[in-house]
């Protein structure tokens, strides 16, 4: 589940700048997990740059495992809402609203125990269409195909 989202910045802005200007940073008194781009701060944990054998290497390994969990959450969100994977073809001012809507719906789905979408890889040369129904309007044909796909039948 996502607990803090800031959609007020363009994608080209560095995470560390967003963090420096975030309300979460100013309110945070407990520890947080971040990558090396954030720098050392009392409320954030970063990797050792040149870890010594033993405790520092173990610390880095554990922190990297935690980052994998965070990245997996973003992957789940993108699989649930394909619009987040590709170019969003809407007015630029609507993009933040779409992102927030996807995150809210994702959190609701997670809280209701809705299963995560599996990564489905398709052969681009594979022909999925049912050509017997080519006379159907395109929208109806698309709905019929979506209903028959494996991950919708679970």
Per residue in 58-86, pLDDT tens? 999 998 888 888 889 999 999 999 889 88
pLDDT per residue over 108-119, tens digit each?
A: 999 998 887 665
Q: Is residue 25 within a helix (H) or strand (E), and if so which, with residue range?
A: helix 23-27
Number of H helices, E strands in the chain: 5, 0
Question: Tokens 């993009």 map to which residue?
Answer: 95
User: Rounded distance, CA 81 to CA 95, Å?
Assistant: 13
Nearest residue to 97 (alpha-carbon basis) of 105, 109, 108:
105
Query: Alpha-carbon distance 45 to 36, whole Å?
Result: 9
Q: In the predicted model, what is the mean pLDDT of residues 34-48?
A: 65
CA distance 110 to 116: 8
The pLDDT tens digits for 117-154 are: 665 554 444 444 444 544 456 556 656 666 665 444 55
pTM over 0.85? The answer is no
Q: Which of 74, 121, 123, 116 is nearest to 99 (CA)?
A: 74
Main-chain dihedrals φ then ψ at residue 44, nearest 5 degrees: -140, 140
28, 42, 33, 2: which is closest to 15 by C-alpha?
33
- Tally Cβ neighbours within 10 Å of residue 106: 21
Sequence ranges of the domains in the chain: 1-117, 120-154
């Amino acid at each position: 589940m996502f607990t803090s989202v800031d959609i007020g910045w363009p994608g080209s802005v560095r995470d560390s700048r967003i963090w420096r200007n975030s309300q979460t940073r100013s309110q945070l008194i407990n520890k947080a997990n971040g990558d090396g781009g954030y720098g050392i701060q009392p409320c954030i944990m970063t990797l050792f740059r040149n870890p010594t054998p033993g405790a520092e290497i173990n610390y880095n390994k554990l922190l990297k495992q935690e980052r994998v969990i965070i990245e997996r959450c973003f992957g789940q969100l993108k699989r649930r809402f394909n619009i987040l994977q590709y170019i969003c073809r809407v007015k630029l001012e609507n993009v933040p609203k779409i992102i927030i809507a996807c995150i809210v719906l994702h959190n609701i789905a997670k809280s209701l125990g809705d299963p995560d979408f599996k990564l489905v890889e398709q052969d681009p040369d594979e022909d999925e269409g049912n050509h017997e129904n080519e006379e159907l309007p395109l929208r109806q044909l698309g709905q019929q195909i979506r209903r028959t796909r494996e991950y919708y039948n679970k």
